[in-house]
């Protein structure tokens, strides 16, 4: 998924939800989401290579909290029912000393890996893996949509399709749609990712609604999709109160208070236009601005202002570790 470098979200309160949200996988009283026209596709007569690749990419991938049934032909003592994938994405099987990475694999891929490990003991073992319970792929849609909800995904789904399950955007929706990405499970990272880092994506809402592939990514486990009502900037880090500031009028950096132990000479502005491939960081000396030795900086929509403290963690990890109101009260619906 592109555009995952510190882009604005629905608000600071929403950014800190990801850790709490990603952990709340087991929910009772779920109901199936209503199918939409986007889910009704015709079966092609012939499947080309690109279509086949796309279909393979849409297969459900196992995640933490999922429960698996694992069958090994003619080996009932090795077969296992209700194997829960651990939080770090692994499972254990009899006779195999090492943990087996299950997260991020399809049923077939995991079955193949287990079979390969058993070739040490048996000739051509036949293994089947079935997902018994889906718990890992919860996502949420909040903000200016007609029906805020959490969704438990039993297949891969794109952003625009998920919006249809939320009954579309409301009349109050602004010009952007943002995704807060939860930290990736160990073993699922893409090149350049770190297991404990969150990330953000931002797209032009009009591009997403038109189905532009660049603004219509696949949704990943733990994602929080937010539709802001208006352009905003966010002030986080070592401040008295994290701020979400609507840009109803021109605003400069010097607005707001910071704590005494802040590194005022290294205030960061992380800036990215919706749909842009990369973000850029602007390091500003707030002390110099306050003393009139430097010009104040005009803020732009979706700017994230990070006021660091001496020796503090990255502001992303700090936010994700903060106890905050979560989306846990939203109803859960199943996307089959």
Pairwise CA distance, residues 210 & 319, whole Å: 33
Q: Which range has highest mean pLDDT (38-47, 181-190, 242-251)?
A: 242-251
Provide mean pLDDT across the span 289-297: 86
Dump pLDDT digits (tens) for 255-285. Answer: 655 656 567 788 888 886 666 656 688 888 8
Q: Are 23 and 321 in contact (CB under 8 A)?
A: no
Do residue 120 and residue 175 come from a single domain?
Answer: no
| Residue 2 is assigned to a structural domain of this protein | no
Domain match, 256 and 309 both: yes
Q: Indicate whether 222 pLDDT > 90.
A: no
249 within a domain of the structure (yes/no): yes
Same domain for 121 and 157? no
Same-domain pairing of 266 and 169: yes
Provide the pLDDT for residue 42: 37
% the chain with pLDDT above 90? 28
Task: Check whether residue 72 and residue 196 sit in a common domain.
Answer: no
Instruction: Using CA atoms of 146, 148, 149, 150 in order, give the dihedral in degrees to the nearest 10.
Output: 130
Lowest mean pLDDT among 173-187, 258-272, 302-316, 319-333: 319-333
Give the confidence band of 158 by pLDDT, cuts at 50, 70, 90: very high
Which of 115, 133, 151 represents a domain boundary (last residue)? 133
- Residue 41 inside a domain? The answer is no
Beta bridge partners of 142: 226
State the CATH number of the domain containing residue 97: 3.30.1950.10
Looking at the 3D structure of the chain, how many domains does it have? 2
pLDDT band for position 249 (50/70/90)? confident
Q: CB-based burial of residue 45 (10 Å sphere; 0-12 exposed, 13-18 middle, 19+ buried)? A: exposed
One domain for residues 105 and 203: no
Instruction: Identify which has the larger pLDDT, 145 or 336.
Output: 145
Residue 230 pLDDT grade (very low, low, confident, very high; cuts 50, 70, 90): confident
Check pLDDT > 80 for residue 121: yes
In this structure, are 252 and 128 located in the same domain?
A: no
Give me the CATH number covering residue 305: 3.10.560.10
| Domain annotation covers residue 176 | yes
Domain limits for position 193: 12-36+137-335
pLDDT at residue number 108: 94
Range from 61-75, 144-158, 241-255 carrying the lowest mean pLDDT: 241-255
Of residues 84 and 298, which shows the higher confidence score? Answer: 84
Instruction: For residues 179 and 257, state if they share a domain.
Output: yes
pLDDT in tens, 195-218: 445 577 889 999 999 999 999 999
Q: For 14-70, write each residue's pLDDT tens digit.
A: 443 444 444 443 333 344 555 444 444 333 334 344 444 444 456 788 988 899 999
User: Which domain-ending residue is among 85, 111, 133?
Assistant: 133
The confidence band for 115, taking pLDDT boundaries of 50, 70 and 90, is very high
Whether 89 and 189 map to the same domain: the answer is: no
Q: Does 216 lie in the same domain as 193?
A: yes
């Amino acid at each position: 998924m592109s555009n995952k470098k510190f882009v604005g979200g629905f608000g600071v309160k929403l950014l800190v939800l990801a850790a709490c949200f990603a952990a709340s996988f087991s929910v009772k009283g779920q109901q199936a989401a209503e199918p939409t026209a986007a889910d009704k596709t015709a079966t092609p007569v012939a499947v080309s290579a690109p279509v086949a690749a796309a279909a393979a990419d849409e297969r459900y991938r196992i995640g933490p909290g999922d429960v698996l049934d694992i069958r090994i032909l003619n080996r009932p003592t090795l077969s296992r029912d209700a194997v829960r994938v651990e939080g770090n994405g692994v499972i254990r099987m009899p006779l195999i000393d090492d943990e087996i990475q299950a997260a991020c694999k399809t049923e077939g891929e995991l079955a193949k890996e287990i079979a390969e490990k058993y070739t040490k003991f048996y000739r051509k073992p036949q293994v089947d893996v079935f997902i018994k319970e889906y718990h890992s792929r919860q996502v949420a849609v909040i903000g200016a949509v007609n029906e805020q909800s959490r969704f438990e995904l039993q297949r891969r789904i794109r952003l625009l399709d998920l919006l249809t399950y939320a009954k579309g955007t409301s009349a109050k929706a602004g010009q952007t749609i943002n995704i807060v990405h939860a930290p990736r499970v160990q073993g699922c990272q893409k090149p350049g990712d770190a297991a404990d880092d969150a990330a953000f994506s931002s797209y032009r809402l009009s591009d997403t609604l038109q189905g532009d592939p660049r603004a219509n990514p696949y949704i990943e486990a733990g994602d929080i999709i937010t539709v802001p009502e208006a352009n905003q900037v966010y002030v986080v880090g070592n401040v008295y109160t994290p701020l979400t500031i609507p840009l109803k009028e021109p605003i400069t950096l010097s607005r707001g208070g910071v704590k005494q132990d802040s590194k005022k000479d290294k205030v960061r502005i992380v800036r990215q236009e919706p749909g842009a491939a990369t973000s850029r960081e602007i390091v500003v000396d707030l002390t110099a601005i306050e003393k009139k030795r430097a010009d104040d900086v005009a803020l732009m929509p979706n700017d994230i202002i990070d006021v660091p403290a001496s020796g503090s963690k990255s502001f992303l990890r700090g936010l994700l570790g903060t106890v905050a109101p979560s989306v846990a009260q939203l109803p859960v619906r199943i996307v089959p």
